[in-house]
Amino acid sequence: MGRRGCAAREAHGYIMDVNEGSALGVFTCELCEVSSPYSFSGQKPPNTRAIVLLEECYGMKDPFSPEREKFLVLGSKCCLCSKTVCVGTDCSLFYTKRFCLPCVRDHLWQFPERVQNEVLRKKSVQKTSSS
């Protein structure tokens, strides 16, 4: 018996590419206004078997990766205010659920210290240094 490292992958041919790349719509972040076409929304990216995302999100296949199971998460909805926000660290934060940064700041005391520090650090980066 030879060892086959990539056995899981070989069942897939190139037949399923038909709908790939066809965008369902355009995702737009309500905070930074970045926009990008998305090709799936929900918790399960297409053409993946083992991946179930922790959140409902918008995403697309990673155009830079030849692997079909690579995908990019563009953004998601804030679980508090339902704003659509990108996953950029200036716009949202994932802590068990997706929160937009304005909501994180409103509820900062409810987050663990690690998250608080992260957000506070962000704040101080954005501030122009003055004293």
- Minimum distance from residue 111 beta carbon to Zn ion (Å): 13
Nearer to Zn ion, 81 or 120 (CB): 81
- Minimum distance from residue 87 beta carbon to Zn ion (Å): 8
Interface with Zn ion (CB under 5 A): 29, 31-32, 78, 80-81, 86, 88, 91, 100, 103
Nearer to Zn ion, 97 or 121 (CB): 97
Burial of 94 (0-12, 13-18, 19+ CB in 10 A): middle
Residue 15 sits at φ, ψ, to 5 deg, of -80, -25
- Minimum distance from residue 105 beta carbon to Zn ion (Å): 10
Q: Could you tell me if 55 and 97 are in contact, meaning their C-beta atoms sit under 8 angstroms apart?
A: yes
Nearer to Zn ion, 31 or 39 (CB): 31
Q: How far apart are CA 99 and CA 81, in angstroms?
A: 8
3-state secondary structure of 9: coil
